[in-house]
Amino acid sequence: MTTTKYRGVSLRDGTTLQSSVTLDMEDYRDQAMNQLFLGVILDVIPSDADKNRSAFQTTDRKGYRHECTVFIVDDGQDGYLVLDNVAITPDAPIGLDDYQEKLPRGCSNLVDGEEFDINFAEVDPYDLDGDWCVIGFLGGRIDSPFVVRWWPHARNPFDPATSGIASNEASLVQVGRYFRRINGVETVINARGDIVVSTTLSGTALNLGGDPTRGRFSRIENPEVGGSVRINIKQSQTLELDFNPQQDGIGVLDAPDPSLPQTNPPQVDPEAEETGELPESTYMYISKDQADLYVPVSATIVSQDFILAKATNYVSVSTEDFIDLTATNKITFEAEKLYLGQAAEDSEEDPVLLGEKHRAWLRDDCLVLSPFGPLKLDPVPLLTPYDATQSVKSFVE
């Protein structure tokens, strides 16, 4: 490969690149491309772009694959090469049923924030901000390139690095971790198995040329955009949060599940019925019509302004031990029937209603759970904490 020539390369936005050190594909035409190339992505060509080869073959310009333009930096010889219509291969099977996509980043600037010369004059390709990849050739043909694998960027020693001092005991421990950042959303599974998902940096953009912060390239943060989380659940299904020990082979709704990792042959009877026993640890169950939260020790709701419990039928608050509802402003219960008190038959404490700077009226049916069972109170204004206490105590006595 001794020939060099001027080569015009048109990006998707119409920009034309030209380089006196860029080789033409014809220089490789008579060669069987059995080696892999290393390059940086200049431009991404989505599946419906006019330049996309798979889209150009259809009348409606709907392609089936994404492509990119790649600036080859290392082809095993001396010279640069620009490849068009390089197929972006997925990281997992994508057919008619399963599908995923994550498009790479093309070049826009240099890592120091400067705009790069479109003629590549005095430009170190390692300073380009595009993603790097390894290129192979289908059938060994130069005109059938595809992305074989992704390659780390030589100018990013921050995400994979420790403190930079190998002998320093204060170096960060990264062996055994899983780390992924997509559009600023970071997911980490550490060596202990802890899972951390953070949307703190979502909606941010690289601030090329800025000083790295918090172990990352400097970013332009936008606290008002991005980072929301929404999960849509099929109406016939449920959401569970369970702090109880996982049982061998037991899955959703405590039902045996042969697809889970478990002892083989299974140690669980698939016909076994539920015992009906309460869980030992905190458990939450949510369906489209119901939400249950079981807490064996303590559940606390604290608001600095307002707490509202509202139901079209009735609100029931009962306990065998103690319930504490605290608000600095107001607590409101709205229902046709209101139950307040203690359910324990041997309790010596009197039912108490408390409130500060608060006027309330008991409307419709009001039942106080007492050692003698539910007692109905006639509607009565509760003007102060003392009046409220005395009204309930006098009636119970």
Q: What is the mean pLDDT of the chain?
A: 76
Distance between CA 283 and CA 241 in Å, rounded? 6
The pLDDT of residue 361 is 39
Distance between CA 302 and CA 327 in Å, rounded? 6
Average pLDDT over residues 173-178: 83
pLDDT in tens, 332-384: 666 666 656 544 455 554 444 443 333 343 444 455 554 445 555 444 444 44
- What letter would DSSP give residue 213? B
Q: Are 127 and 112 in contact (CB under 8 A)?
A: yes
What pTM does this model have? Answer: 0.72
pLDDT band at 250 (very low <50, low <70, confident <90, very high): confident
pLDDT in tens, 43-59: 999 999 989 999 988 88
Distance between CA 147 and CA 135 in Å, rounded? 5
pLDDT in tens, 104-131: 999 988 888 887 777 777 788 899 999 9
Q: Are 191 and 173 in contact (CB under 8 A)?
A: yes
The pLDDT of residue 27 is 60
- What letter would DSSP give residue 54? H
Q: What are phi and psi of 292, to 5 degrees?
A: -120, 135
Residue 41 has pLDDT above 80, yes or no: yes
The pLDDT of residue 108 is 87
Residue 251 has pLDDT above 70, yes or no: yes
Structure tokens at 315: 């609100």
Distance between CA 357 and CA 361 in Å, rounded? 14
The sign of the torsion formed by the CA atoms of 230, 235, 241, 246 equals negative
Q: What are phi and psi of 125, to 5 degrees?
A: -60, -20
pLDDT in tens, 260-303: 888 888 777 766 666 667 888 999 999 999 999 999 888 888 88
Distance between CA 176 and CA 276 in Å, rounded? 40
The pLDDT of residue 309 is 75
The pLDDT of residue 264 is 85
Instruction: Tell me how far CA of residue 205 lies from CA of 35, 209, 220, 225, 297, in angstroms.
Output: 35, 12, 5, 11, 45
The pLDDT of residue 367 is 52
The pLDDT of residue 272 is 62
The pLDDT of residue 34 is 83
Residue 327 has pLDDT above 80, yes or no: no
Structure tokens at 191: 């060596």
Q: Which helix (H) or strand (E) holds 387?
A: helix 385-396
Q: Are 41 and 132 in contact (CB under 8 A)?
A: yes
